[in-house]
Structure 1
Amino acid sequence: MEKVRNPVVAGTFYPSNPEKLKNLLKSFFGDSFKVNTEKLIPPMGAIVPHAGYIYSGETAAKAYKKVFEKGIAKRVFLLGPNHTGLGSKISVFTSGSWKTPLGTINVDGKTAGKILKELDIYNDESAHSREHSLEVQLPFLQYAIGNDFEIVPICMMDQSLETSKNLGEILADIIEEGDLIIASSDMNHYESHEKTLLKDEKVIETLKNMNLQEMYDTIRRYNISMCGYGPVAALLSIGFTDIEIIDHTTSGLISGDYEAVVGYLSAIVSNLQK
């Protein structure tokens, strides 16, 4: 029997009703959004948030719009942090499909298996059972390009620089035309709007410099609670040389609570050098 990963945050992070979900996504993408129906050549990457859509959906959609105005992805690598503590230090979902209210997307089992073999680690897929950071990306993809693409979901509990760079280097040998790599991360958590923007900007400067060691040092030095720095480091280890910061905001702009916010960033990376 085929393995199916059912949605676990539909109805909380985003609407479980397909029409309501489509309408919400349409409000994010806008009436003028048009997909370039050519294949995405060369490959690209994006950094996007993973909070409830009411808070971070518009920020995420801005990155997806930029990508899909350039072409359609046929395979999407989803890199996200492990919030639950379940599973192995890196967990690769190796077969089957993922469901959302907008339909079913197949996993590229052959590629997932190849990555797992290269990582040479014990794999426990329970990391994906309750994790939201990858699931919430799927409706954006489905709204823009339908369900005719495959995914490779990778959940990272071990976000050390060494592990992240190793994953990025493995992906660099696999990436080809038509691929999109998503690094899912929120930025600083539960401090004031002003402090969060300042802390986030320190990280953003290191991203602009493509300096991973500086990013890790900055996160430690300033106690920045960015949750997906490992996925971002893996993305930037693949070989992209250009980064464009698309949007940077906080939950306070929506909630009106400026004392305890979460920061959200969207960016795209391009110009892959292999």
Structure 2
Amino acid sequence: MTAAKVRKPAVAGRFYPASASTLRDVVRRCIEQASVPTLQRVRAVIAPHAGYACSGVVAGAAFRALQGNCEGEAIVYLLGPAHYKPVRGVAASSAEAFATPLGTVPVAVQTVTRLVTVDRLAHCDDLAHAPEHCLEVELPFLQQALGEHFRIVPLLLDDEADIAGLAEFLANEMRERPSALIVVSSDLSHYHPYAEAVRLDRALVQAILAGDLEGVAVGEACGRIPILCLMQVAQQLAWPAHLLAYANSGDTCGPKHEVVGYAALAFTER
């Protein structure tokens, strides 16, 4: 029997602690300290993906909302933007698991295979996944929130992604799999003065809450394409969106003259 192909951590010790015990404590605190409204049947969240010192408190709100909303083993469709390499659409991974200091997270290999070979909505690009932080930083939060009872479908999207096709696929998956979840990884505006960033981010968040695809398309978010895909899923399934938390790096980890925005949102069944 051959050893499983495991995607190794790329940003442990930089974006989050490399020590398992320290990482577990940091993630637990971020989740436990979050104050979120009581929501029933959370099926998707948007969470930031900066270093935990900057965005961990906001990410904690997204994953606190997921706790208790999963029955049985979940498949988590994990969507984020490709930061390091053009993927010309949707890039899946051929790995069988993704590793973090907290252990390995299995990939839903059959689902990835179907996306790539049957539906042809994605292709494998391990060179894009190898250095990518946006999906990796969500994994310790998922491990804390869901325990060992989930598998992931890791997808990186860029401007050439077939958003409508992927949204239709995901909407069908959400209908057929009551325990399936979607996690979109995205930061908001980048490197504006504090007040301008708050204005831009507020407009984008309001567009998400209103289901305004055009408003999001012209807004600033590095995960704009994955967000638009999730919004199309939400429109097909009549999922309302809820704002859980907002902050920027000027609030959490840096100066206010040039900040990055972070928001946590949840989508629920009606």
What's the TM-score once normalised by structure 1's chain length? Answer: 0.87
Superposed CA RMSD:
2.1
Deviation (angstroms), 1:123: 3.4
Verify: 1:78 aligned to 2:83, yes or no. Answer: no
User: How far off its partner does 1:256 sit?
Assistant: 4.0
Tell me, yes or no, if the aligned pair for 2:34 and 2:61 is still in contact at 8 Å. Answer: no
Q: Residue type of the partner of 2:251?
A: L
Distance 2:34 2:133 in 1: 29
Provide the C-alpha distance between the structure 1 equivalents of 2:123 and 2:27, rounded to a whole number of angstroms: 37
Task: Name 1:105's counterpart in structure 2.
Answer: 105
Q: Distance in 2 between matches of 1:241 and 1:11?
A: 37
1:120–1:13 Cα change, 3 Å: closer
SS at 1:19 equivalent: helix
What does residue 241 of structure 2 align with? Answer: 243
Give 1:186 shift. 0.1
Shift of 1:67: 1.6
Identity %: 30
In structure 1, how many angstroms separate the alpha carbons of the residues matched to 2:232 and 2:33? 35
- Checking the alignment, whether the CA contact within 8 Å between 2:243 and 2:264 is kept in structure 1 is yes
Number of aligned pairs? Answer: 257
Q: What secondary structure is seen at the aligned counterpart in 2 of 1:70?
A: coil
Q: CA contact under 8 A between 1:93 and 1:125: conserved in structure 2?
A: yes
Where structure 1 has 5 or more consecutive residues not aligned to the other structure, the ranges are 34-40
Alignment partner, residue 191 of structure 2? 190
Contact 2:90/2:155, CA 8 A, preserved across alignment: yes
Return the letter of the residue paired with 1:54. A
Unaligned runs of at least 5 residues, structure 2: none
Distance (whole Å) between structure 1 residues aligned to residue 165 and residue 62 of structure 2: 25
Q: Which residue of 2 aligns with 1:91?
A: 91
* CA distance in structure 2 between the aligned counterparts of 1:191 and 1:131, rounded to whole angstroms: 24
Distance (whole Å) between structure 1 residues aligned to residue 185 and residue 119 of structure 2: 22
Between the aligned partners of 2:122 and 2:155, the Cα distance in structure 1 is 13
Q: CA deviation at 1:115?
A: 1.8
Q: CA deviation at 1:110?
A: 0.8
For 2:33 and 2:199, locate their aligned partners in 1 and report how far apart those are by CA, in whole Å: 33
Question: C-alpha distance in 1, partners of 2:113/2:241?
Answer: 29
Q: How does 1:74-153 map to 2 (within 5 A)?
A: 74-116=74-116, 117-120=118-121, 122-153=123-154
